[in-house]
Structure 1
Amino acid sequence: MIVSPTWPVALGPGPVPPNLIEGPVNLAKWLLVVVAVSVGIQPAVAREDGRVDRLVAALLGDTPLISDLRELTDIVGGRPTGSEANRRAVAWALARFEAAGVTARREPFTMPGLWLERSAGAVISDKDVTFPAPVAAMPFSTGTPPAGVTAHLLDGGRGEAADFTRLGERARGALVLVETSELLDIEGLFAEYGHAAAVEGRAFAAGVKGVIYMGSRPRGTLYRHNASLGEANEALMLVMSRMEAGRALRLLRAGHELQVTVTLDINSGPSYEAFNVVGEIPGTASPEEFVVIGAHLDSWGLGTGALDNGCNVALVLDLARQMKRLGIRPRRTIRFALFNGEEQGLHGSWGYVQTHAHELDRHVMASSYDIGSGRITGFFTGGRPELAAAVERVLEPVRGLGPFTQIDAPIVGTDNYDFMMEGIGNLVGNHEPA
């Protein structure tokens, strides 16, 4: 996940949480929706011949979904695009499709540049105190020499214009520590994302050496998202553990003159080839038309990428597996797309629409699945109000898992975006926070 305006999402990386064991039961109906679209959005007909009921029963039953998720997260682990773990994830996904009897392939696309953190550290000190501070680099931070970079550490307040006016020329060449609120809800998440671009714009205009954000997650959890300039960034960009950042701010506000030594070992490089994984079940009546069911395969590397986005990769794989096992043939061809490069800028889905530009007019629907394990409460219909009634009809077989509310709003922070910009109808599930 990158950014979206109103979209609940499970936050942060980590091991497979216990609530994911129940999550697939709650989430199976989302996959049913896009399957129903592929068979013509005629749930009554699909129920008459038993397709929908058999598929729902299979998805809610005993499947390898959880073992797939554990393999992807605990064995493959965190899998940033460009990493060895990501290459293993691509091979793993191909093997899972093939084991299910689903034809699958790698589809290449170009990543604009390599960025991977090898290690990160910081030490804060003055004449009275010295302490290490856990940090993580924000993509696409620059690295440092092996001995690190030492600079004055300044109190950047909340990063508002008044804060940089207060700092004046002292900001030039310094590392500025920006205070954040503790994250409590989804609104806070998107406020954090949206605020960052303005903060960084002011900081760069002031000539800082870099920006250090106080971590907004409790208990020392570090969480990264892209620096606002993306691959064009030329500054040090970090997030610091909330506890140590708070200590540093208290010292600064008590009159201490602190410095910080930052050591970042970053593996960066030019553009390179990465791969999406696309499985396919051919349609019967209109095989030349396509429905895309998508989830992004990559993650950041601070955890195992269970919620963002391993659980959804496992769901998409299991849907393909159960359809193949039951012999369910859709009217239209279904492409089960596991995109790469999502976290670093939706590059895999962009690559897909470029590769398949000649057939985009025959894409009936594209769905992106990039949320956590909370109960689905409905769907974003991407600025197409006419889809709401169709979704309501399709949801009839699983009405007991509701209630559902459809939201006619576009989502701009996951792989549906590139399809939406090409005029292709798209659905994104809306979850209760996990």
Structure 2
Amino acid sequence: MSRLTTIAKHLAFGALMSACSFGVFAEAPPISDKQKKNAEALIQKALDSDLGFEIVESLTTEIGPRLGGSEAEKRARDWGVKLGQKLGFDRVGIEEFTMPFWDRGHLHIAMTAPYQQPLYGTALGGAAPTKTQIDADVVYFRDIHALTDIQDGALKGKIAFVDGDAMVKSQTGAGYSQANQRRRVGWQHAQRGGARALVVRSVGSDSHRFPHSGMMSSDDGEWAEIPVIAISNPDADHLRRLHQLGKTLSLSLHSESKWEGEVDSGNVILDLIGSEKPEEIVLIGGHLDSWDLGTGAVDDGAGIAITTAAAALIASLPERPKRTIRVVMFGAEEVGLLGAFAYAKQHENDLSNHVLATESDFGAQTIWQIVSNVNPEATALVDEIAKILSPLGIVRGGSDVAGGGPDIIPLAAKGVPTIRLNQNGHDYFDLHHTPDDTLDKIDPDELAQNIAAYAASIYLLADSAVELKKN
């Protein structure tokens, strides 16, 4: 029996149980029979549709890698506009912004002592180039905490290597924030110590020789003045073993990564205009850019496909929902949520009309939980939505959980209510920011389950008369 057949049978059973168990309300239910019927029809249509996979296949194949600010990201914006027009959105456009552009360039890194061995590495976003090839001994640090204790100037002439551990695979991605500290702020301490370069264990849970890229943090607007390289988990393991044997480690590296000046980027906006409250906006989306090592299928072509396909299915209903549904294909997320902050700034005068926001940006595996941060009346609505999503294997999570996704952070900070459809991220940190982030990692059935959940929940939230914002 296929996964889709199983889900379809669960839907039929869920509808029967809902009629038996939830048919009596002390007052009018937050979801009408008509709305419930439309939501269940959207779920079934999503499960039967290949639209989402066709979207992510098109983006990753026709456009490829889409580094924020690059020519490829511009082609992706044009692709997004054409897609929105093709799918029948009522209003399609691009909201432009400017940004600094960082280019990876060529990298060479190898171990030269105790013997010669090439390493697999990648420059981290915001890193400086080498002026000439660097050949230097390595100072080993077991973790980021050991590096932060270094005294100023103590690393002069050396290459600092920050080890750590490969992330433990988990459904929620727990451990990423802590592990990510070596990538984000390690350079500040290495540079303070006078190191010629910093090498870190890449932040991921895989055992392949595929290093994970990612953006570093600036220090009060200042960026690294030294090269910063992430090496794969197996290579980091190798250096650790040699260190434990008491061997002197030396590396040779040359990196061309550098800032290239200001360039144009933008957010693609696709609107389904509400039938009764067009000024009220339910915002969904993903980020259009990707790191340049893979084709950005999992991070975040999948999110673009999930939210765009969900909205397109809602557009196929006989009438528009009451509120406007806006799909935002955010630009330049990977290099600092630049599109998200630009959107919040450009819409600061109408953010009060944004009644809900959420983003899909955690891969393409199935959704398992819905959480929310809306007012109490709307919390009851989300409770009922969770019952409709239950046959998809989705459970109700916290009812006061701030979030919505990385690109939603600037909106949530301004008081926009959020929901989050939490995905199973067990394989996410095997793939994200690596050459392994390619289309073959996406299961079409799992992608369809995501679209079904988004289509039903966003339709019900957009068509409801319930106030979503907290007072």
What is the TM-score normalised by the length of structure 2? 0.76
Q: Secondary structure at the match of 1:280?
A: strand
Separation in structure 2 between the aligned mates of residue 195 and residue 412 of structure 1, nearest angstrom: 25
1:56-71 alignment to 2 at 5 Å? 56-71=43-58
Q: Secondary structure at the match of 2:270?
A: strand
Separation in structure 2 between the aligned mates of residue 279 and residue 382 of structure 1, nearest angstrom: 24
Partner AA of 1:317 in structure 2: T
2:92 counterpart residue number: 104
Contact kept? 1:115, 1:268, Cα under 8 Å = yes
Taking structure 1 as reference, are residues 335 and 383 closer, same or farther at Cα in structure 2, changes over 3 Å only?
closer
1:8-407 alignment to 2 at 5 Å? 42-47=30-35, 50-102=37-89, 103-111=91-99, 113-126=100-113, 129-145=115-131, 147-161=132-146, 170-185=154-169, 186-194=173-181, 196=183, 199-215=186-202, 216=204, 217-229=206-218, 232-234=222-224, 235-382=226-373, 387-407=378-398
Taking structure 1 as reference, are residues 245 and 330 closer, same or farther at Cα in structure 2, changes over 3 Å only?
same
Contact kept? 2:167, 2:176, Cα under 8 Å = yes
Taking structure 1 as reference, are residues 342 and 353 closer, same or farther at Cα in structure 2, changes over 3 Å only?
same
Cα shift readout 1:351-371 (whole Å, capped 9, x = no counterpart): 111111221111111112212
Contact kept? 2:155, 2:194, Cα under 8 Å = yes
Q: Secondary structure at the match of 1:171?
A: coil
Taking structure 1 as reference, are residues 77 and 346 closer, same or farther at Cα in structure 2, changes over 3 Å only?
same
Cα shift readout 1:88-123 (whole Å, capped 9, x = no counterpart): 211111111111121311111222x11121222202
Deviation at 1:168, TM superposition (A): 8.5
In the alignment, structure 1 segments of 5+ residues that lack a partner are 1-20, 30-40
Contact kept? 2:344, 2:410, Cα under 8 Å = yes
1:4 counterpart residue number: none
Separation in structure 2 between the aligned mates of residue 398 and residue 162 of structure 1, nearest angstrom: 47
Partner AA of 1:138 in structure 2: L
Contact kept? 1:346, 1:414, Cα under 8 Å = yes
Count of equivalent residues: 395
Taking structure 1 as reference, are residues 232 and 241 closer, same or farther at Cα in structure 2, changes over 3 Å only?
same
Taking structure 1 as reference, are residues 91 and 400 closer, same or farther at Cα in structure 2, changes over 3 Å only?
same
* One of 415, 424, 435 as aligned partner of 1:423: 415
Contact kept? 2:402, 2:418, Cα under 8 Å = no
Deviation at 1:163, TM superposition (A): 8.4
1:3 counterpart residue number: none
Separation in structure 2 between the aligned mates of residue 80 and residue 115 of structure 1, nearest angstrom: 9
Taking structure 1 as reference, are residues 262 and 428 closer, same or farther at Cα in structure 2, changes over 3 Å only?
same
Deviation at 1:350, TM superposition (A): 1.1
Taking structure 1 as reference, are residues 260 and 194 closer, same or farther at Cα in structure 2, changes over 3 Å only?
closer
Partner AA of 1:241 in structure 2: S
Q: Secondary structure at the match of 1:141?
A: coil
Deviation at 1:196, TM superposition (A): 4.8
Deviation at 1:169, TM superposition (A): 5.6
Deviation at 1:200, TM superposition (A): 4.2
2:443 counterpart residue number: none
Contact kept? 1:169, 1:206, Cα under 8 Å = yes
Deviation at 1:312, TM superposition (A): 1.3
Contact kept? 1:135, 1:238, Cα under 8 Å = yes
Q: Secondary structure at the match of 2:143?
A: coil
Separation in structure 2 between the aligned mates of residue 161 and residue 385 of structure 1, nearest angstrom: 46
Partner AA of 2:279 in structure 1: E
Separation in structure 1 between the aligned mates of residue 154 and residue 405 of structure 2, nearest angstrom: 36
Structure having greater relative contact order (Cα 8 Å, sep ≥ 6): 1
Q: Secondary structure at the match of 1:326?
A: coil
Cα shift readout 1:8-48 (whole Å, capped 9, x = no counterpart): xxxxxxxxxxxxx98xx89xx9xxxxxxxxxxx94325436
Taking structure 1 as reference, are residues 385 and 153 closer, same or farther at Cα in structure 2, changes over 3 Å only?
farther
Deviation at 1:188, TM superposition (A): 2.7
Contact kept? 2:386, 2:396, Cα under 8 Å = no
Contact kept? 2:153, 2:192, Cα under 8 Å = no
Separation in structure 2 between the aligned mates of residue 192 and residue 109 of structure 1, nearest angstrom: 31
In the alignment, structure 2 segments of 5+ residues that lack a partner are 12-28, 427-471
Contact kept? 1:388, 1:406, Cα under 8 Å = no
Taking structure 1 as reference, are residues 105 and 197 closer, same or farther at Cα in structure 2, changes over 3 Å only?
closer
Separation in structure 2 between the aligned mates of residue 83 and residue 322 of structure 1, nearest angstrom: 31
Greater mean deviation of Cα atoms: 155-164 or 134-143:
155-164
What is the TM-score normalised by the length of structure 1? 0.82
Q: Secondary structure at the match of 1:308?
A: helix
Separation in structure 1 between the aligned mates of residue 183 and residue 124 of structure 2, nearest angstrom: 12
Taking structure 1 as reference, are residues 70 and 353 closer, same or farther at Cα in structure 2, changes over 3 Å only?
same
